[in-house]
Structure 1
Amino acid sequence: MRLISLLGLPFVAALASAAAVPFKGCQHKVKESIHGPPRGWSKHTSAPKHHMLELKIALPQPKFPELEQHLWEVSDPSHSRYGAHLSKEETDALMAPHPESLDIVNEWLASYGLAEESLLRSSANDWVTIRVPVSLAEQMLDTTYSVYKHAETGESIVRTTSYSLPEILHDHVDLIQPTTMFARFKAFKSTLHWTNQAQAPVLSTSSGTITGPAGNQVDASCNSSITISCLKQLYNSVAYNTSATNGNKMGLTAYLDQYANNMDLQQFFQLENPSAYGSNYTFVSVNGGLNNQSYAAAGVEANLDTQFGFGLTWPTPGTFYSTAGEPPFDPDYFTPTDTNEPYSYWLDYVLSQPSLPQTISTSYGDDEQTVPFTYADRVCAGMAALGARGVSILFSSGDSGVGDGDPNPATQMCHSNDGLNVTKFLPAFPASCPYVTAVGATVNIPETAVSFSGGGFSNYFVRPAYQEVAVLEYLTKLAPGTYEGLYAPEGRAYPDVSAQGVNFSVVYQGQTIPVDGTSCSSPTFASFVSMLNDARLTAFKSPLGFLNPFLYSAGYSALNDITMGHNPGCGTEGFNATTGWDPVSGFGTPNFEKLLALVLSLP
């Protein structure tokens, strides 16, 4: 579902000669460039020549269309291969570059003294990572790096707006980063509320009840504070108990120095799921990621994810991935390495593992246009490989409605970054990737789509076949000319589903605080998916894997349709929630009992 196909990549034929190609004398040609840094970034100073860069080089994946075909077949409940997920070795073979690409890139690196022992390769050999000083990177890429500063946050990164490669390399290298990528990849939290004084936890002890979306009675307190009990009541899973021994696992990711505090987790378990008290998760460090346990280092995002994700699915074993790597670089002090954004590092790691959690949730992202298409395309391809291996990947849809990172719809500057500076809606990535399940947010009972729920249409990826009918049905309901020119109606539409996303009762630094955002809704929906995988594994069936073909063909019938609300931004009211799929709430929130019956009826 890429706008640019990888089919039929030409390969340079003049590689038969045993002599090394004289790359240093070759004519360089621009490989990638952007008009300028995204809004908020400005050039500050020249990059120090000794500053170390960790460059990741992506080699083409000529067999990706074959991998994609496998993904569609094993994820389609009506296909005879449904659930026949691929192994690590099979996906590696389908992601591997052509041998000619490996050879010529190796020769190019060797011409700069970078021998095999100094290279780090991904499991499929489709990524090569090197550590070089800015001075050498500038020679290799015929570019000039600068330190760019962000006006709002003060953070700095070392980047360029254009780089070049010898023309002979262009068909053998998809991209090199960090070069032109200015994405900040923030956690999707709309608002955070807490005081210096500990607050009394709000638990579901009220004698009053209200009618939930499944027609059952729900504690009235759930309209003011969301707890584990509230979510199980709302989404109809009170009677379901997961297993600790059937091989099912739940995975959560953390980036940007977000640490999950274990004392906070145990306090949360005591308050909201006493049976889980004393249990823990498996911590996995990726690229040197840490999980600092000092109270001062506790992260609201990481606490939210682990407390609700592992609290809802206990006793299912949980895995918490902490991936190092973030853009900020302080040019006033010596910093040894300016790292790339962390998704590619996480993908490198998980795709190299023979066994993975069946469900993984991520609550991070950024404006799609801040991520170069080439990079977004490759990260998205990695998500496709995970789906083909039977992993359900869920992402928060974003916290700015149809707009940018400014939480105030009235002040959002929704301008394109292509030099035209036209007003347009700003979709979020990775939510816009067609191989992931994007989760929007709701509020209150009865449920309404919350105003910050990210949604819209990708400018990078075309609409996948699985959502053609549902999205066209929505588009026909829009008045002719509505938001014409502000969005790409042929693009991948998101979110796919939604869940509660306001007033989650989280323990942070020993205090109970309310948290809002699609950061709440993604681990919530993922937890119910993990329960469904638990049931299928107990019944000796395959895990669900990539969810969207199921959701758009049958699964939507077991979701609570959200018909009220809209997601304003860019000086507009945004899209509206309505009957059926919509770009605010997707198909709606889970009714676990209905979903359970459906997934157990699948082969």
Structure 2
Amino acid sequence: MRLVSLLGLPFAAALVGAASFKDCQHKVKESIHGPPRGWYKHAPAPKHHMLELKIALPQPKFPELEQHLWEVSDPSHTRYGAHLSKEETDALMAPHPETLDIVSEWLASHGLAEEDLIRSSANDWVTIHVPVGLAEDMLNTTYHVYKDSKTGESMVRTTSYSLPEILHEHVDLIQPTTMFARFKAFKSSLHWTDLAQPPVSNSPNGTITGPAGNQVDASCNNTVTISCLKQLYNSVGYNTSATNGNQLGLTGYLEQYANNMDLQQFYQLENPSAYGSNYTFVSINGGLNNQSYADAGIEADLDTQFGFGLTWPTPGTFYSTGGEPPFTPDMLSPTDTNEPYSYWLDYVLSQDTLPQTISTSYGDDEQTVPYTYATRVCAGMAALGARGVSVMFSSGDGGVGDGDANPATQECYSNDGRNVTKFLPAFPASCPYVTAVGATINIPETAVFFSGGGFSDYFLRPSYQDAAVSEYLAKLAPGTYEGLYNPYGRAYPDVAAQGYNFLVVYQGNTTYVAGTSCSSPTFASFVSMLNDARISNGKTPLGFLNPFLYSSGYAALNDITEGNNPGCGTEGFNATVGWDPVTGSGTPDFEKLMALVLSMP
């Protein structure tokens, strides 16, 4: 018998529901074999430590939303460009009304009234703040403080939780419970003297012929600037509009603050026309806008300087999202929260208008993110694509390994109790609804050794990349890396861009950075320019890029055929003719891409 909804009823009425749930047998909802390698159980979690639990409710209409995504993103489909509104995506992400009722009744049975709940725009996420003791009662589990033996950082987590059986079909997941994701910026400093690939020597006459046949300053082989990228990727003569409605969005996490003094100094150095311009700052989940030089974030500086510098005067938005999992248990810090993608998604999906292009340079090993959570975050990315947003993610800095940019120190082990050696794909780059960006170096371009790439263990290969990936796999010698990767998984990256020797201004000084953190905002900037061209010509923005890239867009990319991405004690995959899991289908040729996208509906 279905329980009567308690929404809006007096608290006394909740006692009926409370009794019913207490009589209902608990059943394990989610469990993991144990914490990831390097984490150990330190102590019981303090009962009064506050947790912010996020409850994901099922989205029964998601297959319909996904169908919309495929249709509006396919240039050959009659609905191409007919992106959905916020209200339309909300309706397709909404839970069944019965789910809302039953989950509300369960929460009320534990003393949580409607005013204690925070609901997402589509009502598919419910957020509550509860002490560990209450969470343990609700989830029939025991939380512990887990410590990382390398860093000493801690998280309050459990390896298993249960729910009343009646709730299982009405709740997809609850976190933080079993998720030990570290969530890091995909950037690397240039202090790898034993690993760094030497730049090509300057040519005698001071220029190099780029892939488009144009001349590129030879200095670009040692120092990558805005001018270098515009030359290399063939956009020198293109000027974006400040008023056609096009926007570029960049994300910041983990207390990475974009310093405005650094930005203005960078503009003076690399794009004087942009000097004095600014961007829109948006705080999410308490994200700060700390302008102290001492607190400037090199990742945030890199993203804003090159992203907004390349696309100026296109209006830019920087999202600062607060919250990161590690905390110091001795201090009983209240900042032990979820990894922040869900907060960012909650916010942007609740907005009526969004930037047409968004880049993110953060991620983690796929296996540290529970499958249920990864699929829900990925579904949120699909909703962004259906709304016409092109979403780019860095592919990672560990080659085929664990995100450690030094292949010699990588630990590539499965997290399923078997501890077998395996390649470790990155998430969210492995989500089939985003465009993952790998990294190149030098002119002529080759793959840079840290360029993350491989095959998802969670997501099946989407049909849009079947032909390209099958062709690549057919070239591999029989048995190559057998058992180390999933040949049926979503393959990444999709594309690439320069990712080494980027000159940035950081805390008032110029310095060099590298990583796919450079590549993603770079590729996204050229996508933003393409959206600018389409909007100025009365066309819709490109939206989710991958169906276009794999069907025809690849012909307007510079194919990268040399280099590899070592890791896990192997040489990794090789770049080759056509798509490969190091540089995808290649780097942008803006003029070719613009001609192509302006020829589409």
Whether the TM-score (by the shorter chain) exceeds 0.5 is yes
C-alpha contact (below 8 Å) 2:250/2:318 kept by paired residues: yes
Cα separation, 2, equivalents of 1:370 and 1:272: 39
Cα separation, 2, equivalents of 1:192 and 1:535: 36
Question: Which residue identity is paired with 1:108?
Answer: W
- Please report how far the alpha carbon of residue 291 of structure 1 lies from its aligned counterpart in structure 2 after TM superposition: 1.5
Cα separation, 2, equivalents of 1:282 and 1:16: 46
Q: Which residue of 1 aligns with 2:197?
A: none
Q: Which residue of 1 aligns with 2:455?
A: 457
Q: Which residue of 2 aligns with 1:480?
A: 478
Partner SS, residue 338 of structure 1: coil
Cα separation, 2, equivalents of 1:17 and 1:239: 62
- Please report how far the alpha carbon of residue 49 of structure 1 lies from its aligned counterpart in structure 2 after TM superposition: 0.7
C-alpha contact (below 8 Å) 2:139/2:162 kept by paired residues: yes
Q: Which residue of 1 aligns with 2:351?
A: 353
Cα separation, 1, equivalents of 2:3 and 2:465: 43
- Please say which of residues 211-220 and 147-156 is displaced more in the overlay: 147-156
Residues 439-467 of structure 1: per-residue CA shift (max 9 Å, x gap) = 00000000000010000000000000000
Q: Find 2:258's aligned residue among 260, 268, 281.
A: 260
Q: Find 1:74's aligned residue among 61, 72, 75.
A: 72
Which residues of 2 match residues 401-416 of structure 1 at below 5 A? 401-416=399-414
C-alpha contact (below 8 Å) 1:15/1:100 kept by paired residues: no
Q: Which residue of 2 aligns with 1:218?
A: 216
Q: Which residue of 2 aligns with 1:422?
A: 420
- Please say which of residues 25-34 and 357-366 is displaced more in the overlay: 25-34
Q: Find 2:496's aligned residue among 495, 498, 501.
A: 498
Partner SS, residue 291 of structure 1: coil
Cα separation, 2, equivalents of 1:341 and 1:349: 14
C-alpha contact (below 8 Å) 2:323/2:335 kept by paired residues: no
Q: Which residue of 2 aligns with 1:50?
A: 48
- Please report how far the alpha carbon of residue 409 of structure 1 lies from its aligned counterpart in structure 2 after TM superposition: 1.4
Q: How many residues align?
A: 582
Q: Which residue of 2 aligns with 1:198?
A: none
Which residues of 2 match residues 80-229 of structure 1 at below 5 A? 80-192=78-190, 208-229=206-227
Which residues of 2 match residues 295-306 of structure 1 at below 5 A? 295-306=293-304
Cα separation, 2, equivalents of 1:410 and 1:283: 39
Residues 132-164 of structure 1: per-residue CA shift (max 9 Å, x gap) = 000000000011111111122221111111111
Cα separation, 2, equivalents of 1:468 and 1:182: 32
Q: Which residue of 2 aligns with 1:293?
A: 291
Cα separation, 1, equivalents of 2:465 and 2:341: 26
Residues 153-210 of structure 1: per-residue CA shift (max 9 Å, x gap) = 221111111111011100000000000000011000122459xxxxxxxxx9x96101
C-alpha contact (below 8 Å) 2:397/2:404 kept by paired residues: no
Q: Which residue of 2 aligns with 1:31?
A: 29
Cα separation, 2, equivalents of 1:165 and 1:61: 19
Partner SS, residue 329 of structure 2: coil
Partner SS, residue 170 of structure 1: helix
Q: Which residue of 2 aligns with 1:14?
A: 2
C-alpha contact (below 8 Å) 1:360/1:391 kept by paired residues: yes
Question: Which residue identity is paired with 1:363?
Answer: S
Q: Find 1:588's aligned residue among 569, 586, 590.
A: 586
Q: 1:238 to 1:155 in 2, by over 3 A?
A: same
Question: Which residue identity is paired with 1:61?
Answer: Q
C-alpha contact (below 8 Å) 1:564/1:577 kept by paired residues: yes
Q: List gaps (5 residues or longer) in structure 1.
A: 1-12, 195-203
Q: Which residue of 1 aligns with 2:324?
A: 326
Cα separation, 1, equivalents of 2:582 and 2:205: 33
Q: Which residue of 2 aligns with 1:6?
A: none
Q: List gaps (5 residues or longer) in structure 2.
A: 7-15, 193-201
C-alpha contact (below 8 Å) 1:211/1:217 kept by paired residues: yes
Q: What is the TM-score with the length of structure 2 in the denominator?
A: 0.95
Question: Which residue identity is paired with 2:103?
Answer: V
Cα separation, 1, equivalents of 2:123 and 2:490: 29
Q: Find out whether 1:447 has 2:445 as its counterpart.
A: yes
- Please say which of residues 323-332 and 272-281 is displaced more in the overlay: 323-332
Cα separation, 1, equivalents of 2:264 and 2:5: 64
Q: Which residue of 2 aligns with 1:547?
A: 545
- Please say which of residues 226-235 and 402-411 is displaced more in the overlay: 402-411
CA RMSD of aligned residues (A): 1.4
Residues 92-120 of structure 1: per-residue CA shift (max 9 Å, x gap) = 00000011110100000000010000000
C-alpha contact (below 8 Å) 1:51/1:337 kept by paired residues: no
Cα separation, 2, equivalents of 1:154 and 1:228: 39
- Please say which of residues 26-35 and 435-444 is displaced more in the overlay: 26-35
Q: Find 2:242's aligned residue among 244, 249, 263.
A: 244
Cα separation, 2, equivalents of 1:349 and 1:156: 27
Q: Find out whether 1:312 has 2:300 as its counterpart.
A: no
Cα separation, 1, equivalents of 2:37 and 2:298: 27
Q: Find out whether 1:340 has 2:328 as its counterpart.
A: no
Q: 1:150 to 1:17 in 2, by over 3 A?
A: closer
Q: What is the TM-score with the length of structure 1 in the denominator?
A: 0.95
Residues 479-513 of structure 1: per-residue CA shift (max 9 Å, x gap) = 01111111000000000000000000010001100
Residues 36-79 of structure 1: per-residue CA shift (max 9 Å, x gap) = 11112111111111100000000000000000000000000000
Question: Which residue identity is paired with 1:229?
Answer: S
Cα separation, 2, equivalents of 1:516 and 1:253: 18
Partner SS, residue 225 of structure 1: coil
C-alpha contact (below 8 Å) 2:389/2:543 kept by paired residues: yes
- Please say which of residues 183-192 and 288-297 is displaced more in the overlay: 183-192
Cα separation, 1, equivalents of 2:404 and 2:429: 18
- Please report how far the alpha carbon of residue 230 of structure 1 lies from its aligned counterpart in structure 2 after TM superposition: 0.2
C-alpha contact (below 8 Å) 1:143/1:163 kept by paired residues: yes
Cα separation, 2, equivalents of 1:36 and 1:407: 26
- Please report how far the alpha carbon of residue 17 of structure 1 lies from its aligned counterpart in structure 2 after TM superposition: 8.7
Cα separation, 2, equivalents of 1:460 and 1:107: 33
Partner SS, residue 138 of structure 2: helix
Partner SS, residue 285 of structure 1: strand
Partner SS, residue 271 of structure 1: helix
Cα separation, 2, equivalents of 1:211 and 1:182: 47
- Please report how far the alpha carbon of residue 23 of structure 1 lies from its aligned counterpart in structure 2 after TM superposition: 1.1
Q: Find out whether 1:525 has 2:534 as its counterpart.
A: no
- Please report how far the alpha carbon of residue 214 of structure 1 lies from its aligned counterpart in structure 2 after TM superposition: 1.1
Cα separation, 2, equivalents of 1:53 and 1:40: 23
C-alpha contact (below 8 Å) 1:54/1:337 kept by paired residues: no
Question: Which residue identity is paired with 2:368?
Answer: T
